[in-house]
Structure 1
C-alpha cells in the first residue's frame, strides 16, 4: 500500500487532495491540516483483500433480540441509559469542565466492580495518582477489579484490554488519544479522534467478547462535543451533564440513545462525596410544609422531564419599585417569557405591576422549559400581590394565551395521575383538555380564563 497526502478540516473532518484557505464544507478559515494516510487501493483502483465475511439476509428473516443490560446501583443513571447499560454498547459523555464527568464515571466503575465486573479506566488527561485522589474522596472502598492507566496511546490501551479482559472500558477523554498508524495527525484532530473511536467500536461490538465502552468527550465553548459530528453518529448513546457552576443540581440528559428514550433526564446532587442520585425529584423540587401552613407567593405545577412528570414549586416575590424601571428577574425561566406573563396578568387579570419588582424562582433550581407551567407562574405572582397563600394541595397545569384564555398542554393525563397518586386535592386545567380519567382524591377544575381562576381562588 502507498501513502498519500491529504488535507483534513480540523473543524468538520472534510477531506481534500489539495490545501484550501477556506473549508467548503463548514466555511472555516485556515482549518485544513496536512495528513499522511494509507492508500488502500491497488493499481486497478479496486480495494484489495475485499473478502465478504457475512451473507446478505432478508429483513424479515433477521432474528430480533433485546440486548442484555448491566444494572448499576445509581438509579438516575440507569433511567437515562434506558434501564441499564447494554453490554455491547458504546457511549459518549460530555459536559463543561468541572461538571462531574470523571466523578460520575468513577462511581459507575466502582459500582460495577463491586457487582463482579472488571473495569479498565484509561485516562489521557490525568495521572494515576490524580485519579486515585478523586476516588479516595468519593468512594468509601475502591474495589480490586478496577484497573487504571494513564496513557495517551490507544495502541497501548488496546493491549491493556487484551491483558485485563475488562467488561467496562472508560476512556477519559477520546480527544487525548492517538493511534501510531497516523503519526502526522495530532491528538484531538478529526483523523485521530475518529480512528480511535472506530477501534473502540470494533472492541465493543465484538461477536465473541462484547464489552461496554464509555468515552468522555471534551466540550467546546459553544457547548458542543469537540470534534466532528460523525463522532456522535458513531456511538449508541450521547449523554450531556448540565448544571450551573456553583450550584449543586446536575442533570444528565441523553440527546441520542439507540436503546432507550432520547431526551430522558436524570437528576443528581453534586457534593464532596460525588454525584448523588436524586431518586424522587418531586420531593427535591418542593418545600415540605405542614397541612394548612401556606406561604404567599408559592404555587405548584407539574412539568415533564423526559418521560416522567415531576412536581415543581414556583416561588415569586413582588415588591414596590422606587425606580422608573422595575426589576423583572426570572431565575428559572427566560426574561422574555416572564415579561410576557406579566403583561398577560396586567391586561387580562386586572392586576397592575407597573410599579412593582417581580422575582421568580423554582425550588431546587429546575428550569421551566414548558408552557404548562405558565399558569402556575402567574398564580404565584397573584398570591404574592394579595399576600395570600395558595393551599398546598392545589396545582396549576395550563398554558395562558395572550387573550387570557387557558390552553391545553400535552401529556396532561400522566401529570394528573401523578398528582392523584401523591394525594393532591385540586388541579386547575384548561376546558375540555382531559376526558374519561378516574381519580381517587383529585378534583379536576376546568376554567376558561385566567380571570376565572383568580376569582375562584381568591374570591375577588
Structure 2
C-alpha cells in the first residue's frame, strides 16, 4: 500500500512546508498554506517523448538548420484584440486571460469563439463553471447562438484531453483553469499542484497538436492571477482584462507576449449585445471635459505602441485634520505623493496642509513615468485656482530635483495631440533635439517643473 505523506503548500507561490505556518516564508502571504496529501507510489515509466505536429519525434538540431518563417496569424472580428495579440491569433499558442469577476472574460471569449466558428473553424468551449444552457443563453444574447461551436461542461482533465483528441478542434476555450481537476492528484481543485498539472497538459496539447488554447484565470484581491507564478511563465501570452465595474469601458492589456509587443492595450465598450471596439480612445476620454475647470490637465500617455490622451484631474482642499490626506484613482498612490513633495520643495507650493484627490478619468489606469508633468500641472492648477488652457497638453517625467526628464516615442505623442486639435504641448527640453517644425501644434520644451509652472500660468 502506498504511503501517504502530508505537506502544506502555499497557494500563492507554491512553497512547500512540512509543518503549518501562519505566514509563507517565501512570498510573505498570510494564511496561504493549505494541507495536501501526497501518495508515495513507485516511480512511473519513462515519459512520452515530445513530438511535432507531423508526429515526428523531436531531435536536437543545429540553429543554422532551423527554417525560420513568419508565424501565421488568424484575424478575429475584434481588431482591438488582434492588436493586443500582436496582429492576430497564432495557431498552437497558449493564451491566458485574467480579470476580476464579472468584468467580461467569458463574454469576450464567447464572442470571439462565435466569430471564429462562423468562419468555419472548429471551436470547443469547455466550461467548469457554467452549464451548456447558460453558455447558450449568453451566446444567443451576443448574436452567436447559431455559430456552430461545441460546448462541453466538464472539469475532469483526462476526459477533456480525450475529447480534444477525438474532435481535433482548431480552438479550445478553458473556462476556467482553477476549476479543472486531475483525479490522479490528491490535492484540492484549484490548488497549486492542480493548476500546474492542468496547464502543463494543456501546453503539451497546444504545442503537439497545433491547437490554439485560451485559458481563463481567476485573480486574487491584489489583482494578480491566482495560482503559482509558474502559470504565467508556461503560457505564450498573458492578457489582463481590466475596467471599472461602474463604467462601460473595458481594457485588455498584454503583459507577456512571445509573438508581439508587451504592454499593448485594447479598449472596448460593454453593451447588452456584447463588446464593441473603441476606435479613438483619446476622443472618448476627453469627451466630457469642462472648458473652464481648474485642476485639469491632459497627458499623452503611451500604452504599448498606441498614444492615448487622458485627462488627469486634481482637487486640492485645506485639510481638516492633523495629517493631509492623499487619495488617487487610476494613478499610483506613491507617485502622487512623490510629485506633491517635489512641488512643495522645488516649486514653493505649500501643499503639506492640503488634502489631495487625483483621478485619471474614464476608468483607465496610468502607470508610466511620462504622466508626471501633467499630474504636477493639475495639482498646481487646483491649488492656485487657475485654469489651464483647454488646448494645452503635457508629457514628461519629473525627477526629485525638479528636472523634467526626457521620455520615449515623443514624435508619436505630438502627432496624436495635433490630430485631436491641441495647440500647445509641453515636453522635456532634451526631447526637442531633432524634432521637425510643426504648423498645427506648438512644441514647448521645459527644463524643470518651476519652468513649466512659469510658462503655463502666465502672471
| TM-score of the alignment, normalized to the shorter chain, above 0.5 | yes
Match of 2:311 among 310, 313, 319: 313
Corresponding residue number in structure 2 for 1:219: 219
Distance, in Å, in 2 between the alignment partners of 1:107 and 1:392 is: 39
Quote how far apart the aligned CAs of 1:268 are: 2.9
Corresponding residue number in structure 2 for 1:404: 402
Contact 1:20 1:32 in 2 (8 A): no
The answer to which of 31-40 and 128-137 deviates more is 31-40
> Does the alignment pair 1:199 with 2:201?
yes
Quote how far apart the aligned CAs of 1:317 are: 3.1
Corresponding residue number in structure 1 for 2:228: 228
**Unmatched segments (≥5 aa) in structure 1:** 42-46
When residues 29 and 337 of structure 1 are mapped into structure 2, their CA distance, relative to the original with a 3 A threshold, is closer
Match of 1:392 among 390, 393, 397: 390
Distance, in Å, in 2 between the alignment partners of 1:396 and 1:275 is: 31
Corresponding residue number in structure 1 for 2:371: 373
Q: Map of 1:282-293 to 2, 5 A cutoff?
A: 282-287=282-287, 293=291
When residues 7 and 228 of structure 1 are mapped into structure 2, their CA distance, relative to the original with a 3 A threshold, is farther
Q: Deviations over 1:226-281 (max 9, x none)?
A: 33333322221122223344343433222221111222222233344333333322
Corresponding residue number in structure 1 for 2:86: 82
Q: Map of 1:104-123 to 2, 5 A cutoff?
A: 104-123=108-127
Distance, in Å, in 2 between the alignment partners of 1:153 and 1:134 is: 23
How many residue pairs match? The answer is 445
Distance, in Å, in 1 between the alignment partners of 2:311 and 2:155 is: 47
Corresponding residue number in structure 2 for 1:44: none
Secondary structure in 2 aligned to 1:39?
Answer: coil
Name which one, 1 or 2, has greater alpha-carbon Rg.
Answer: 1
Q: Map of 1:6-17 to 2, 5 A cutoff?
A: 10-11=9-10
Corresponding residue number in structure 1 for 2:295: 297
Contact 2:95 2:213 in 1 (8 A): yes
When residues 157 and 376 of structure 1 are mapped into structure 2, their CA distance, relative to the original with a 3 A threshold, is same
When residues 30 and 459 of structure 1 are mapped into structure 2, their CA distance, relative to the original with a 3 A threshold, is closer
Corresponding residue number in structure 1 for 2:448: 449
Q: Map of 1:199-348 to 2, 5 A cutoff?
A: 199-206=201-208, 209-287=209-287, 293-319=291-317, 327-348=325-346
**Unmatched segments (≥5 aa) in structure 2:** 51-55
Q: Deviations over 1:344-371 (max 9, x none)?
A: 3344334444565443222213223223
Q: Deviations over 1:140-192 (max 9, x none)?
A: 24233111121122232233334443211101112222345x16444334444
Distance, in Å, in 2 between the alignment partners of 1:100 and 1:294 is: 36
Distance, in Å, in 2 between the alignment partners of 1:62 and 1:153 is: 38
Distance, in Å, in 2 between the alignment partners of 1:14 and 1:395 is: 48
Distance, in Å, in 2 between the alignment partners of 1:382 and 1:184 is: 60
When residues 387 and 161 of structure 1 are mapped into structure 2, their CA distance, relative to the original with a 3 A threshold, is same
Contact 1:412 1:434 in 2 (8 A): no
Contact 1:6 1:37 in 2 (8 A): no
Contact 1:287 1:363 in 2 (8 A): no
Quote how far apart the aligned CAs of 1:341 are: 2.7
When residues 276 and 432 of structure 1 are mapped into structure 2, their CA distance, relative to the original with a 3 A threshold, is same
Contact 2:94 2:215 in 1 (8 A): yes
When residues 179 and 356 of structure 1 are mapped into structure 2, their CA distance, relative to the original with a 3 A threshold, is closer
Distance, in Å, in 1 between the alignment partners of 2:192 and 2:403 is: 52
Contact 1:10 1:33 in 2 (8 A): no
TM-score (norm 1): 0.84
Q: Map of 1:147-226 to 2, 5 A cutoff?
A: 147-180=150-183, 182=184, 184-206=186-208, 209-226=209-226
When residues 155 and 362 of structure 1 are mapped into structure 2, their CA distance, relative to the original with a 3 A threshold, is same
Contact 1:5 1:34 in 2 (8 A): yes
Distance, in Å, in 1 between the alignment partners of 2:371 and 2:47 is: 61
Corresponding residue number in structure 1 for 2:129: 125
Question: Once superposed, what is the RMSD of the aligned Cα atoms?
Answer: 3.3
Match of 1:92 among 96, 100, 118: 96
Quote how far apart the aligned CAs of 1:84 are: 0.9
Quote how far apart the aligned CAs of 1:311 are: 1.0
Distance, in Å, in 1 between the alignment partners of 2:215 and 2:15 is: 23
Corresponding residue number in structure 1 for 2:77: 73
Contact 1:344 1:402 in 2 (8 A): yes
Contact 2:316 2:379 in 1 (8 A): yes
Quote how far apart the aligned CAs of 1:222 are: 4.4
Secondary structure in 2 aligned to 1:333?
Answer: coil
Distance, in Å, in 2 between the alignment partners of 1:222 and 1:388 is: 37
Corresponding residue number in structure 2 for 1:57: 61
